[in-house]
Amino acid sequence: MRFLEEARALLGAAHVLTPDAEDLSAYTEDWRRRYQGRPLAVLRPADTAQVSAVVALCAQHGVAIVPQGGNSGMCAGATPDGSGKQVVLLLSRLNRVRAVDALNNTMTVEAGCVLAKVQELAAEHERFFPLSIGSEGSCQIGGNIATNAGGIQVLRYGNMRDQVLGLEVVLPDGQVLNLLKGLRKDNTGYDLKHLFIGAEGTLGIITAAVLKLYPAPRARTLALVAVESPQRALELLAVLRSHLADRVTAFEIMGDAVVAMVQKHIPGTPALFDKRPPWYVLAQVSDSSGAEALQTAFEEALGQALESGVAQDVIITSSVAQANELWAMRDNASAAQQRDGHNIKHDMAVPVSSVPAFIDEVLPQLEIAYPGVRPVVFGHLGDGNLHFNVARPADWVGDWLDQSDAVNAIVLDAVARYNGSFSAEHGLGMLKKHELPLYKTPLELDLMRRIKAALDPQGLMNPGKVLPD
């Protein structure tokens, strides 16, 4: 095929992988193993110039492109279809750090840089990059930006969108849009970079970014708190903020079903409280000042929560190892669910103040519809984002995923009533695109389609993702 011959000439034969010669399963199946595709080829460019040349070649031949980073997404946004006509554009070789400007608190990195490596490099310069998610050892910066990743520290630092000062993007015709400015202020018309953040590669290929850094925290403390309800958890957040303000950097809630599932499927998960509470909170505080003052303020706040009945019990970590052990329990929630069997996932958000009412409304509805159902609820209570997942009843016969539409209607209709979002941080991909017309207005959809048509008139950028067919 002429296209493949030209691609080999551009990239070298070793970087054009085809199904007839290679096992491409690592690139053709989504992380949750819900979708399996078959590409024409997997292309591995080495730099922005090669990405530009490949995208221009695809435009010339009418070949659709599926950009892929660490392939750790939850919504099949980086999975090819089964037509054998799309190419997977792998960005992992674009892994250079172009610059670190400690005085400007910025780092310029390419899209294939692994998130954990970016965190480590920031620390080497006594700086801090705040994005922290369970897949940080394998996910890549380009994918983090393309999905507008959230994670555990959005409460203080914001989503990935808030960490990006500039972008380099290859447009659908192969032109390179260079917006790599490390500026906090630039009020010169439309802020074009925001079109590509969260667009999941449907408008262009992100190849590099200027990331915002922060002073490295000098003190950090974590506590696991037992509470009797989400309402009590929300009250605990208010107590902590009244004592510590924005030093509260993470505030995660987990139902007991989550903890039990992790303890069952992940060896080495620690035992926790003597009496199992219905809900757990992981609260982390950090500061650039001394550890003693932070610890004192944290203990005072937690003591007040215990005395007032907001909290039932508290474990304050005494070492980094103990803190890592507790965070691993939260990070392993998705892996435990995968081992437990299919569950119907929801990455939703409602206003923080509405979280308890939302949970109290939806849990009984699910139990009525599916007696014995196992809601697996955890997530970022501090910013209103819950992973409200629904595992099948223990005696369920048949494919539980066949109930997805019915379960989604219960959960997501309630999300809409609370003026929430049915996708808070995972994106849409193939998994959720059909829900867009259910919960977006016709005008919103029309504007999204017009932007897509203006930037990608051939429709070659990650087709079948985000926008419904």
What stretch(es) of the chain map to CATH 3.30.465.10? 97-215
Inter-CA distances, 58 with 173, 386, 398, 430, Å:
9, 39, 42, 22
pLDDT digits (tens, 9 = 90+) for 26-59: 999 998 888 899 999 999 999 999 999 999 999 9
User: Given 3.30.465.10, 3.40.120.10, 3.40.50.1220, 1.20.810.10, which CATH number is that of 97-215?
Assistant: 3.30.465.10
What stretch(es) of the chain map to CATH 3.30.70.2190? 219-326
- Please give the model's pTM, rounded to 2 decimal places: 0.92
CA-based nearest residue to 16, from 4, 25, 28: 4
pLDDT score recorded for residue 331: 86
pLDDT digits (tens, 9 = 90+) for 158-199: 999 999 999 999 999 999 999 999 999 999 999 999 999 999
- Where does 219-326 sit in CATH, by number? 3.30.70.2190
What stretch(es) of the chain map to CATH 3.30.70.2740? 341-428
**253 pLDDT higher than 80:** yes
Q: Which CATH class is domain 2-90?
A: alpha beta
The rounded percent of the chain whose pLDDT value lies above 70 is 100
pLDDT score recorded for residue 129: 97
**426 pLDDT higher than 80:** yes
Domain topology for 341-428: Alpha-Beta Plaits (3.30.70)
* Reported confidence tier of residue 337, pLDDT bands at 50, 70, 90: confident
